[in-house]
Amino acid sequence: MTVITRFAPSPTGHLHVGNIRAALHNWLWARKSGGQFLLRLDDTDLERSRPEYAAAIKADLAWLGLHWDGEERQSDRFALYESRFEALKASGHVYPAYETAQELDLRRKILLGRGLPPVYDRAALSLTPDQIAAHEAEGRTPHWRFRLDHDQPIAWTDLIRGDQRFDPRLLSDPVIRRADGSWLYMLPSVIDDIAMGITHVLRGEDHVSNTATQIQMFTALGAPLPQFAHEALLTGSEGKLSKRLGSLGVAHFREIGLEPAAIAALLARLGSSQPIEPFADMAPLIASFDFAHFGRAPARFDEAELATLNQKIVHLLPFEAVADRLPQGMDEAAWEAIRPNLETVAGAADWWRIVTGPIDAPAPAQDDRDFLTAAHRLLADLPFDAGIWRALTDALKGETGRKGKTLFLPLRRALTGLDHGPDMGQLLPLIGRDEALTRLRS
């Protein structure tokens, strides 16, 4: 069996961190299994779906490195849905219902007031021809429901949650088509999963009850079931569901300079028993991905943890991976010198300005002025090579008797304007003799 997974976002907005995690896990499972990862844009909501959102979704996936092997749009597949719908009508698996939204809401409130589950009572199935004619004379157009088989218990073994069982009598027959003829999520998704040959449906645990009803739709359409995996939802760092998670997306991550590899490294294992590690490429994440590692406890997403992970990954990135994002003139030696001090690649520009100047160095203390004059004199005469910092500080130590902080800090301040930063042994050769002499003289 060729494993085929899918990511099926609705292009009615931008991807958020929960969507990204679902897409990543589907991609990882397909890649580990040597299968296919498909993108399906669930754009049956023609009013809210926008081309710009569809384009943004694809751009976000591409930036994250989640390249897909095929693409479908539900808006191109209405004829297929219509034919399958007619077949279900003929077999008695779907039926029309004429209740208004207000009537249904009142019934739900009555049931809840009695302490009963708000399950649809199938009143539409007992309508007489005269009652139907009266509804239609009023101008009512039916919506359509899928008729669940109450005699067929619903069960499956979830790849994350284990054995799942639902009593169909405790579920409402789901509405699959609105009165205006537009489709709801449930049936088109099943029809597409069958047509696209989807073998694994991986999504959030908020879809568990949807899966229960969709399993009977697969059966009614004469199709084998895919395997299902429902993962725990993300929570915020405060330990509860956070509205902020719904607004965190690729645009935010790019804006603050995060690496795609950091996002993948965190989200690939978030909610699993595996350690979160700073992998700079996907290969280890693909090789280690396994549904068995995931539990049912909520997965805690922490932006601070992501930032720390990003910093560790930046420290692993070779020059070739970042060369096109570095300031003009910054070469591999400069990257190697500056990299250990970076939180993001974009931060390299700030350090490169320290190298190229000009800098705004603080005025030296009175007792450091003679020391820096000596540094200027010695630097002018020493061979300027890769060992210049060691040679300069050794010479100054011998001449002035200074050591430790009193030796190194005034030099760093005069040469960089800062009290901290990259190893001066690497930084001074990048600054160059002439610029260093100018800064010491100043």
Structure confidence at residue 239 as a pLDDT band (50, 70, 90): low
Query: Which amino acid would we find at residue 289?
Result: F
Structure tokens at 84: 């399958």
**pLDDT (tens digit, 9 = 90+) per residue, 29-40?**
999 999 999 999
- The CA distance from 345 to 25, in Å, is 26
Convert the pLDDT of each residue in 58-92 to its tens digit. Answer: 999 999 999 999 999 999 999 999 999 999 999 99
Name the class of domain 80-177.
Answer: alpha beta
Q: What's residue 247's pLDDT?
A: 80
At the second CATH level, the architecture of 4-70+188-232 is: 3-Layer(aba) Sandwich (3.40)
Domain boundaries along the sequence of the chain: 4-70+188-232, 80-177, 319-356, 366-441
Of the candidates 38, 41, 35, 34, the one whose C-alpha atom is nearest the C-alpha of residue 15 is 41
| Cα→Cα distances 382→283, 401, 435, 437, Å | 48, 19, 15, 12
List, in sequence order, the alpha helices (H) in 315-365: 319-322, 332-338, 348-356
* pTM score: 0.91
Question: What is the rounded average pLDDT of the residues 188-200?
Answer: 98
Question: Per-residue pLDDT for 237 more than 90?
Answer: no
Helix, strand, coil shares, percent, the chain, to 5: 50, 10, 35
pLDDT in tens, 105-144: 999 999 999 998 999 999 999 999 999 999 999 999 999 9
Q: Which tops the pLDDT comparison, 20 or 1?
A: 20
Residue 347: the pLDDT is 96
Q: Which pLDDT does position 242 carry in this prediction? A: 66
- The pLDDT value recorded for residue 1 is 84
Instruction: Give me the residue label for tokens 């001066």.
Output: 424
Phi, psi of 27 (to 5 degrees): -65, -45
What average pLDDT does this structure show over 406-422?
Answer: 96
The CATH class that applies to domain 366-441 reads mainly alpha
If one counts every other C-beta atom within 10 angstroms of the C-beta of residue 166, the result is 19
Instruction: Provide the residue type at 54 as one letter.
Output: A
First to last CA, the chain: 73
243 is known to lie in a ligand binding site = yes
For residue 232, give the nearest of 271, 276, 290, 288 by alpha carbon.
271
pLDDT, one tens digit per residue, over 266-297 is 999 999 999 999 999 999 999 999 999 999 99
Looking at every residue in the chain, the average pLDDT score rounds to 95
Separation of alpha carbons 213 and 222, rounded Å = 15
Distance CA 413, CA 384 (A): 20
Question: What does the pLDDT average to over 22-26?
Answer: 98
